């Protein structure tokens, strides 16, 4: 490894754990924030990672800090609160936000990082924890051209497809567009599959017809195991996170003055299931929840 970095990671959850493992495998020095939301980290420590007690310590020990947290409130907190990243950030250090966030918040956060002498880019992720562990995430990057060229080798240690979509904030804008399409189709497919259960349509017949027609695609393949056999493992993404991402999309398009009629309907569907107490259910389980609700 000719471009070894000192990397600090905040957020060793389902996606962050895979990022951490692949950073270590590619020879980068890794420190991470100790947090109750982390996945088990014994394997990371065994491979040389260092656990630290504050975000400021993580930033001070790194020249690149990667954020992999839930959303904009968490990004703002981990950066700006007492003992946060900004308190430990060295001049010239880079902050890479891999979270899903509100673009206007991202731009404001970037300004604060720059004011402290740092550099910032958003590198929103797609794909699942399985691809994260395999080092095959997709990244949607908003960054100045020069910074993108500098960090690309680091990103390649845990990502397969890396798309530079424009300046800071663009990565999160395109991620929200992507998630609206992905989660929107998930809702449509789940609702159709629930109606098929109500109509006693064979799941195998439904899958064959959709797969040979307008239903084929990545989301279809992720939900197919649940439609056929109630297996939700293909899409380990909670309904609460789906609701959060659709809400971020709604806020973005409101700020843009863009149309959002379809988004409003999709958001209503997700929020209804959460209000019924199913926020931690995985997205494929929406099929069963809607089928049960219809009876």
pLDDT digits (tens, 9 = 90+) for 189-219: 999 999 999 999 999 999 999 999 999 999 9
Does the pLDDT value for residue 263 go beyond 50? yes
CA–CA gap between residue 31 and residue 91 (Å, rounded): 19
Does the pLDDT value for residue 2 go beyond 60? no
Structure tokens at 70: 């839930």
CA–CA gap between residue 246 and residue 203 (Å, rounded): 28
State the pTM of this model: 0.92
What number is the average pLDDT over the span 155-169? 97
- Reported as type and span, the H/E element at residue 226 is helix 218-229
Band the pLDDT of 295: cuts 50, 70, 90: low
pLDDT tens for residues 178-197? 999 999 999 999 999 999 99
In sequence order, the 6+-apart residues with CB closer than 8 A to the CB of 26 are 1, 157, 158
What number is the average pLDDT over the span 57-73? 97
CA–CA gap between residue 267 and residue 252 (Å, rounded): 14
Write down the H helix ranges in 47-162. Answer: 55-60, 72-80, 85-88, 103-115, 129-134, 145-155
Q: What is the mean pLDDT of the chain?
A: 96
pLDDT tens for residues 76-100? 999 999 999 999 999 999 999 999 9
In this structure, what DSSP letter does residue 44 have?
H
**DSSP line for 155-203:** HTTTEEEEEEEESTTHHHHHHHHHHHHHHHHHHHHHHHHHHHHHTT--H
Tell which residue, 34, 155, 20, 151, has the closest CA to residue 93.
Answer: 151
């Amino acid at each position: 490894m000719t471009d070894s970095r000192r990397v600090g990671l905040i957020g060793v959850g389902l996606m962050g754990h895979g990022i951490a493992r692949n950073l270590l495998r590619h020879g980068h020095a890794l420190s991470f924030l100790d947090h109750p939301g982390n996945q088990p980290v014994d394997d990371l420590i065994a491979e040389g990672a260092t656990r630290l007690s504050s975000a400021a310590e993580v930033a001070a020990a790194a020249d690149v800090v990667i954020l992999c947290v839930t959303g904009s409130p968490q990004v703002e907190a981990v950066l700006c609160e007492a003992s946060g990243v900004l308190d430990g950030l060295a001049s010239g250090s880079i902050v890479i936000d891999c979270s899903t966030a509100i673009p206007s918040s991202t731009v404001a956060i970037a300004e604060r990082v720059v004011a402290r002498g740092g550099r910032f880019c958003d590198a929103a992720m797609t794909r699942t924890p399985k691809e994260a562990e395999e080092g095959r995430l997709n990244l949607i990057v908003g960054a100045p051209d020069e910074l993108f060229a500098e960090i690309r080798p680091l990103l390649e240690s845990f990502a397969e497809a890396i798309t530079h979509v424009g300046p800071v904030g663009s990565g999160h804008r395109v991620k929200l567009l992507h998630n609206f399409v992905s989660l929107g189709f998930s809702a449509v497919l789940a609702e159709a599959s629930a109606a098929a259960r109500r109509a006693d349509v064979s799941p195998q017949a439904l899958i064959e017809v959709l797969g040979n027609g307008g239903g084929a695609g990545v989301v279809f393949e992720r939900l197919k195991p649940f439609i056929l056999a109630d297996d939700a493992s293909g899409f380990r993404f909670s309904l609460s996170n789906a609701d959060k991402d659709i809400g971020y999309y709604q806020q973005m398009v409101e700020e843009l003055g863009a149309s959002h009629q379809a988004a409003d309907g999709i958001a209503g569907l997700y929020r209804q299931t959460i209000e019924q107490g199913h926020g931690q259910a995985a997205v494929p389980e929406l099929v069963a929840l809607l089928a049960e609700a219809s009876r």
